[in-house]
Amino acid sequence: MPLQIYINGQFYDKENAKISVYDHGLLYGDGVFEGLRSYSGKVFQLTQHLDRLYESALAICLQIPISKAQLADDVNKTLKINNLHDAYIRLVVTRGSGSLGLDPNRTSDPQVIIIADSISLYPEENYKNGLKIITASTVRSHPAALSPRIKSLNYLNNIMAKMEGLQAGCVEALMLNHKGEVAECTGDNIFIVKNGVLMTPSKDAGILEGITRNAVLELAREHGIPTQEVTLTRHDLFVADECFLTGSAAEVIPVVSIDSRPIGGGSVGATTIKLMAAFKKLVHG
Ligand code: PXG
């Protein structure tokens, strides 16, 4: 059976899962999304992802036409119908089709889409030996222009930075905020370890408050590792003992080089290894 895609309560074969070219999600990036994972058939932190989805929607005055409980059921139904256990799940809600003008009031049919598919992770080698990343010159969206806390369908800011990374031979790129402080990577949050303290940029740095980020902060506390949500600059990264990234797709992945400078001697750090193991246990537990 072809992969089944959910659109507004109905399942369609992958090749027949279509939405209107008049949809404001396509025309203007007017919509919101989430990227989730399931492990052994259980969706990791589904409640947190749904809370963030509905908050993103609220922030752009988009009324999701079904309840959180219904959407949670439908996510599980989508996994089941596709017989998927370890999956990557994309939730998308668009403003719906309307006229060829910005006016959101001229749209009437928000599209709720659930895609569950297999996952393509970074190569295993990167988890063992760490990633090399660069700092992108593309600055993270100014929080006063469009809050990076909204996971909207308009990801061009991040895509421009991702292109810079790819052009430099890196699969991820670091983004600074409008003040030149460390914000996050294009699809991952960033952490460093310095003198035994785990540090990550605070929410005010203009970041997406990652669900994996929050889970890792919690795990660190449980393991007696002191944590700080602080302002970080590139200097802090260059002199860090360890660095790693977190995200639903990437999970926890070490970084061993930034802008061709080795971090922590260029090898994966002990705290990173400890947190990677704890995260693995959490998701599979
Ligand atoms: N920052 C940004 C800008 C993100 O987009 C994260 C941090 C990590 O957040 P979570 O909640 O996942 O720990 C994200 C999430 C993709 C993809 O296709 C990337 C994300 C989500 C879904 C898909 O690369 N990044």
Q: Do 139 and 75 share a domain, yes or no?
A: no
Burial of 67 (0-12, 13-18, 19+ CB in 10 A): exposed
Q: Do 138 and 210 share a domain, yes or no?
A: yes
Q: Please report, for the domain that includes residue 48, its CATH number.
A: 3.30.470.10
Domain termination residue (choose one: 96, 118, 140): 118
33-84 pLDDT per residue, tens: 999 999 999 999 999 999 999 999 999 999 999 999 999 999 999 999 999 9
Quick one: pLDDT at residue 120? 77
Domain termination residue (choose one: 89, 118, 147): 118
Query: 99 CA distance to ligand 1 centroid (A)?
Result: 31
151 tagged catalytic = yes
Query: 151 CA distance to ligand 1 centroid (A)?
Result: 9
Q: What is the mean pLDDT of residues 259-277?
A: 97
What range defines the domain where residue 13 resides?
4-118
Q: Do 114 and 131 share a domain, yes or no?
A: no
Q: Do 110 and 176 share a domain, yes or no?
A: no
Quick one: pLDDT at residue 285? 78
The number of domains in the chain is 2
Q: What is the mean pLDDT of residues 132-136?
A: 98
Query: 257 CA distance to ligand 1 centroid (A)?
Result: 21
Q: Do 89 and 177 share a domain, yes or no?
A: no
159-200 pLDDT per residue, tens: 999 999 999 999 999 999 999 999 999 999 999 999 999 999
Q: Do 155 and 111 share a domain, yes or no?
A: no
Q: Do 51 and 77 share a domain, yes or no?
A: yes
Q: Please report, for the domain that includes residue 265, its CATH number.
A: 3.20.10.10
The closest residue, in CA terms, to atom 19 on ligand 1 is 187
97-106 pLDDT per residue, tens: 999 999 999 9
State yes or no: pLDDT of 89 exceeds 90. yes
pLDDT, averaged across the chain: 97
Quick one: pLDDT at residue 121? 75
Q: Do 94 and 12 share a domain, yes or no?
A: yes
217-243 pLDDT per residue, tens: 999 999 999 999 999 999 999 999 999
The closest residue, in CA terms, to atom 15 on ligand 1 is 187
Q: Do 186 and 77 share a domain, yes or no?
A: no
Quick one: pLDDT at residue 119? 80
Residue of 175, 188, 217 to test ligand 1 pocket, by largest number of atoms within 8 Å of CB: 188
List the catalytic residue out of 68, 151, 179, 194. Answer: 151
Residue of 34, 119, 189 to test ligand 1 pocket, by largest number of atoms within 8 Å of CB: 189
Burial of 222 (0-12, 13-18, 19+ CB in 10 A): exposed
The closest residue, in CA terms, to atom 4 on ligand 1 is 187
| Confidence band, pLDDT 50/70/90 cuts, at residue 24 | very high
* CB atoms near residue 76 (< 10 Å): 18
Task: Give residue ranges with CB within 6 A of ligand 1.
Answer: 35, 158, 184, 187-189, 208, 210-213, 246-249
Q: Do 240 and 129 share a domain, yes or no?
A: yes
pTM of the predicted structure, to 2 decimals: 0.97
Q: Which ligand 1 atom is nearest residue 214's CA?
A: 13
Quick one: pLDDT at residue 122? 86
Query: 250 CA distance to ligand 1 centroid (A)?
Result: 8
Q: Do 67 and 157 share a domain, yes or no?
A: no
Residue 189 in contact with residue 240, Cβ under 8 Å?
A: no
**Residue tagged 């989730």 (tokens):** 36
Amino acid at the residue 73: D
The closest residue, in CA terms, to atom 24 on ligand 1 is 187
Give phi and psi for 274, each to the nearest 5. Answer: -65, -45
Q: Do 129 and 108 share a domain, yes or no?
A: no
Q: What is the mean pLDDT of residues 265-275?
A: 97
Longest dimension (CA), the chain: 57
Domain termination residue (choose one: 56, 89, 118): 118
